[in-house]
Chains A and B, each alone.
Chain A
Amino acid sequence: VFKAVPVLRRRKIIFEKQWFYLDNAIGHIYGTTFEVTNGGNLQPKQEVEETTTETKEAGTDNRNIVDDGKSQKLTHDDIKALKDKGIKGQEIVQQLIENSTTFRDKTEFAQDKYIKKKKKKYEAVITIVKPSTRILSTMYYAREPGKINHLRYDTLAQMLTLGNIRAGNKMIVMETCSGLVLGAVMERMGGYGSIIQMYPGGGPVRAATSCFGFPKPFFDNLHEFPLSKVHSLLSGTFSTESLPSDPEDNALVEEESNGLTEEKQTSLQETEEEPATEAAMEMTQTEEQETMDINAEDAEFKQNREKENVREKQIKQFERRKKLMETAALLREKNADGLIVASKFHPTPLLLSLLEFVAPSRPFVVYCQYKEPLLECYTKLRERGGVINLKLSETWLRNYQILPDRSHPKLTMSGGGGYLLSGITVVLDKGKSDSSNSEALKMEEPSPKRCKVRDLHC
């Protein structure tokens, strides 16, 4: 079980019915395992050489084991008393084993299973690991699949590969997955190249992105562009003047434009409230906000402050507009190296518009929780042309238990992790008699192929 938290001194973390402070964890390397002690302190757990429970006595089968509910000699109260005394979990487990009358009759495998189960319950250990796409996507899928449109981690992995995500690309990303997809793309690009995030509403959501703990330079080439302006950009009527005319939208944008660091701060707090993960990361904080709050008490300053605020707002608005213009210019070049879509919206209109910004011979990938919208998208893209190698796919993921003489697939597997539609852009011929005469206009595929394709699609 994973939970992402920012590491802060003297801050209580609640995780899986345990609470503790992370202070002691500072200075240890990632991957260190800790035990939770009484005061909520952590202490690194040493590699315990499991001194195998003395006499290895075990039964061969369960023909004589009767479930009478009395095999455990310790009562509930006894166990509680042990816990209250602050006895180590390990010892409690030992006591439970000693007081189980049937333990010795169990098969070796059943004993193993019994110990494992009890350990899980009484020996609380946490491991602090470094955030990565692997950890975060697994965590989100397990804890809050709704927030990432049920995008399973293996599906995300496919997207990154099919999209040929790598350093130096100029990517367009449209996602409503809390910024998880964005973060995954950023990780693979390692701060090289640029990303344009298209966002619906007032601003991009990057709660999951902040969990990655990316260094600041990674954000230098991260741009955002409102989805609602895509149409005007494509039709050539786009101007930033239209932006302030929309006050509500603007206010939201304002808030967001306070800088990534601040946004990071708030969103980190959000993630902290979501229950459960072991992933933790250092947090970079800025004093920006504090300095802004200092002079609030003084009445005299109030007016000044208001003025300043207005000025600040104007500056921000100006900066905001400048950034928007830059992003618009980037999009207008129409030479993006790929498009990644994973949102709660219908994919067809998104794709038909956003593909305009992508250069030919570049991959695109669309995720959808459901197959049907992608079927339509497939058909519409065929009609539009300019794309080849369209593929609708899904991956299945199966986990295995591998133990001596007990290997088998895990009992439960995930039912669905969503669907992907992927393809490659090509030059869209709009009847411009480029090299051929009537050919380009005549049909989408050459005649022998065309028949085949028809067969396939009828």
Chain B
Amino acid sequence: MSFVEYGDTIKDGDTAIVFLGHESMFPVKVQHGTVTQTKYGVIRHSTDLIGKKYGSKVTCSKGGWVFILHPTPELWTMNLPHRTQILYSTDISIITMMLELRPGSIVCESGTGSGSLSHALIRTVAPTGHLYTVEFHQQRAEKAQEEFREHGVEHLVTVTNQDVCKNGFGVSNIADAVFLDIPSPWEAIGHAKSALKAEGGRICSFSPCIEQVQRTCLAMEEYGFTEINTLEILLRVYNVRTISLQIPDLGKAAEDNSSAGFDSSNPSNQGSLCSNLQQGTVQFKSGVPLREMVGHTGYLTFATKS
């Protein structure tokens, strides 16, 4: 496996995702002789994992089973050890598209944080592109470097431990895109501009607060960025459920006509959606929004250098 290439079978040293069921999963590092505990029992790496196909069902000692999945940046995002707040796939998607990233792109990022976005960027720019990521927190920078090595993407990324607002990205005139997720992005706009290619490129800044956006936009304008655009993207997830609603008793029930009367106004051959089952209730499939959803992650400000 590698985060930038699919492999068929699980090998020693791989990072695999153990899928326990409904939104419950965790990453494991596959190693000969190691065991992993799950609530369904023990997984023995040597016999249960190594040599098996990704996507297979693995039976644990207590008789329960799990699926072993090939790692992707998206699964990693859901399972990585948090060292900071991270960006989730919804924001990452729009960032990747709006920065026009593709194989071969050179990207600058700061801060590296927990590497959630980094993995997605590397996936997209591989095999010929490169990511220059800057993290001013030494321990986080080292940890990220270690992860990139473990994930087989070391050759596609350079981690630099310095302050981007003071020292920039350590490169100039080579980037197609710059991404900023730092507390004071306006202080790094100048460095971002010089990191971008002379013929231009795209920039994105992620900020949770509108005041940050305000200052960033002013800085972008000052440095001659064009096409400045701020947006926000929200994900709505729906649970698929079969709902049954009772038909109220309006006193007509005597002749047992109530359900028939209802049928006629609501043809039961609608198929999937509306299947009238028992008397007195109507069943239908519905996509029910989650009781709570993420209401705000951050504002994304995009601009072009040309």
Contact = CB atoms under 8 A, between A and B. Distances in A.
A52 to B, nearest CB: 15
Interface in B203-256: 210, 213-214, 217-218, 226, 228-242
B127 interface: yes
Nearest to A189: B103
Contacts of B58: 435
Interface string B66-108: 0111101110000000000000011011101110101110000
Nearest to A453: B22
B234 to A, nearest CB: 4
Contacts of A448: 64
A296 to B, nearest CB: 43
B189 interface: no
B55 interface: yes
Contacts of B281: none
A440 interface: yes
A425 B55 contact: yes
Contacts of A436: 59, 65
B79 to A, nearest CB: 12
Nearest to B216: A402
A332 B220 CA distance: 52
Interface residues of A, number: 76
Nearest to B98: A134
A357 interface: no
Of A164, A396, A456, most buried by chain B (CB within 10 Å of CB) is A164
B286 interface: yes
Of A158, A191, A371, A453, most buried by chain B (CB within 10 Å of CB) is A158
A29 B102 contact: no
Contact of A439 (B59, B229, B273): B59
A445 B273 CA distance: 25
Nearest to A164: B72
B240 A392 contact: yes
A-B pairs, top 9 by smallest CB distance, nearest first, are: A360-B55, A190-B103, A361-B55, A31-B306, A161-B93, A361-B54, A157-B97, A400-B230, A157-B93
B213 A400 contact: yes
Given A157-B96, A158-B90, A449-B21, A166 B103 contact: yes
Chain B, interface SS category: mixed
Chain A, interface SS category: mixed
Interface stretch (A78-86, A265-273, A301-309, A375-383): A375-383
Contacts of A360: 53-56
B232 A400 contact: yes
B93 A362 contact: no
Interface string A35-51: 00000000000000000
Contacts of B6: 168-169, 337, 359, 362
B120 interface: yes
A164 B77 CA distance: 13
A319 to B, nearest CB: 29
A140 interface: no
Contacts of A429: 57
Nearest to B6: A337
B22 A164 contact: no
Nearest to B271: A376
Interface string A168-194: 110000000000000000011111100
Nearest to A376: B272
Contacts of B120: 161
B51 interface: no
A169 B70 CA distance: 14
A164 B237 CA distance: 19
A400 B300 CA distance: 10
A446 B234 contact: no
A187 B272 CA distance: 37
A407 B238 contact: no
Contacts of A154: 93-94, 97, 233
Contact of B299 (A132, A188, A337, A400): A400
A132 B176 CA distance: 13
A404 interface: yes
Interface string B269-290: 0001100000000000111000
Given A361-B69, A399-B231, A457-B240, A30 B273 contact: no
11 contacts: A153-B97, A166-B4, A167-B4, A189-B103, A190-B103, A359-B55, A376-B272, A391-B237, A427-B57, A435-B57, A447-B64
